[in-house]
Amino acid sequence: MHPNKHQTTTLALFCKVVDNYGDIGICWRLSRQLEQEHGIAVTLWVDDLTSFQRICPDVAIERDEQMIAGVTVRHWRDQNGAFSAADVADIVIEFFACDIPPAYIAAMAQRTPRPMWLNLEGLSAEEWVEGCHTLPSPHPSMPLTKYFFFPGFTGKTGGLLVESGLEQQRRQFQSDPAAMRDFLAKFGVTPAEMAALKASLFCYPHAPVPALFAAWQASATPVTCLVPEGVAGEAVQAFLGQAAQAGASATRGALTVRVLPFIPQPDYDKLLWACDLNFVRGEDSFVRAQWAGKPFIWHIYPQDQDLHHKKLNAFLKRYAANVASLNALTSGWNGATTEAIDWSAAWRAFQADMPQIAAMSVAWQQQLLANGDFTSNLLSFVNTVRSSAAKVTV
């Protein structure tokens, strides 16, 4: 529990795992931060404990209710639960418009005072986000209002998830070569592999990994690619000539590929800090790569009709408008360009720009931090709505 506060505010966060690990990854970070930094009693309702366990090995998948890191975790099995007004939290959050159980919504309408109800949206750098952030949506039949809350890259959005001690932890880790060495050695990374340019690889299965591997193999300087088990399985297996299981590794030309276990979330953050370059995807690892302060290449979650290309370009425009090599490699990685790519040339150009990109990321972080952190912004918004509702009642 937060040392200075009584847990007077309660919050229920409903998380439906659509696929992969980002939904629960984000909800889990948010839950922990609400509890640890704001003293809020959080209940995290999650429908898929197996995915949760992969990023948080403390999760017992057979349990209906458990307490992990001060957060009550409830297995959200179905929509049939029975709830009364007393079961409803002060703040109710649904993640990515997941449908919370009808009986819970009915109980929300019966509770006095009404809970603050928020829908947390996905991250996008597109401009329309600013216009939709914090918009109210009255329930069609019940006396309830839901508010949309968006993460984002500007001061007119909710900002990004970032824990208050994160920057200091990262700096401490990155300034301690022995800690970084021990961390990587735990996963079997050898001293020679550590001495090379280290790149972590997390992407969707359709990424052009074979083309990148070929460019790295032909690289003038050695590259170590660290890939968690289950990521880019086919391409990694083809490179290794054996099953892509944790511990497997092979070297061809300048490239060594090593398979790591799929690691707990805090270790994944450290992996990003320990590498020189990170390939990340989706939303949560994408944000963490920005806090790592290292060059990164984003593999965006694919959407129908290539809608994600717009989203990708909106981000690149804000983040890297002036760095041609970063734009080129990212566009190629995401299949967002019609031009044929010479991967070796694209890699060489990007590698030459890496010091400049790393320096640029410091200013980028400052810009993001100026927007405040997502969790505090969310709670300030809750307070603002509550105090204006109180004024109306008076």
Closer to ligand TRH by CB, 144 or 272: give it: 272
Identify which of residues 115 and 208 has a Cβ nearer to ligand TRH in the complex: 208
Active site residue 176: no
How far is residue 143's CA from residue 62's CA, in Å, rounded to a whole number? 37
DSSP-derived secondary structure letter, 373: B
Q: Which of 7, 20, 217, 251 binds ligand TRH (CB under 6 A)?
A: 20
Considering beta carbons, is residue 22 or 158 the nearer one to ligand TRH?
22
Cα radius of gyration (the chain): 22
> Measured from the CB atom, is 39 or 230 closer to ligand TRH?
230
The type of residue at 330 is: T
Helix 22-38 vs helix 265-274: angle between axes, to the nearest 10 degrees? 100
The reply to whether 62 belongs to the active site is: no
Contact with ligand TRH (CB under 6 A) among 2, 7, 10, 18: 18
Question: From the list 11, 23, 296, 378, which residue makes contact with ligand TRH (rule: CB under 6 A)?
Answer: 23
CB of 298 to ligand TRH, least distance (A): 10
Least separation in angstroms between residue 337's CB and ligand TRH is 21
CA-wise closest residue to 260 among 271, 251, 252, 269: 271
Residues 37-56 that bind ligand TRH (CB under 6 A): 55
Alpha-carbon distance values, 67 to 45, 76, 327 (Å): 12, 15, 44
Active-site residue (options: 48, 283, 353, 373)? 283
Phi, psi of 298 (to 5 degrees): -95, 130
The helix (run of H) or strand (run of E) holding residue 318 is helix 307-320
- d(Cα 6, Cα 38) in Å, to the nearest integer? 10
Site string for ligand TRH, 279-318 (x = CB under 6 A): --xxxxxx--------------x-----------------
The three-point CA angle 145-149-151 to 5° equals 175
- DSSP 8-class letter at 118: E
Work out whether 268 is an interface residue with ligand TRH (CB under 6 A): yes
> Can you tell me the distance from the alpha carbon of 263 to that of 268, in angstroms, rounded to the nearest whole number?
6
Binding mask of the shown chain, residues 174 to 203, with x at each position contacting ligand TRH by CB under 6 A = ----------------------------x-
Quick one: 21 or 153, whose CB is closer to ligand TRH?
Answer: 21
Residues in contact with ligand TRH, total (CB under 6 A)? 23
Q: How far is the CA of 240 from the CAs of 191, 225, 237, 246, 322, in angstroms?
A: 20, 12, 5, 12, 37
- Cα distances from 269 to residues 43, 278, 300, in angstroms, run 24, 11, 19
Q: Which of 9, 13, 15, 22 binds ligand TRH (CB under 6 A)?
A: 22
Which listed residue (40, 41, 105, 263) binds ligand TRH by CB under 6 A? 263
**Per rule CB under 6 A, is residue 258 in the interface with ligand TRH?**
no
- Tell me if residue 70 falls in helix, strand or coil: coil
Catalytic residue list? 23, 283
Binding residues (CB under 6 A) for ligand TRH: these are 18-23, 25, 55, 122, 202, 228, 262-265, 268, 281-286, 301
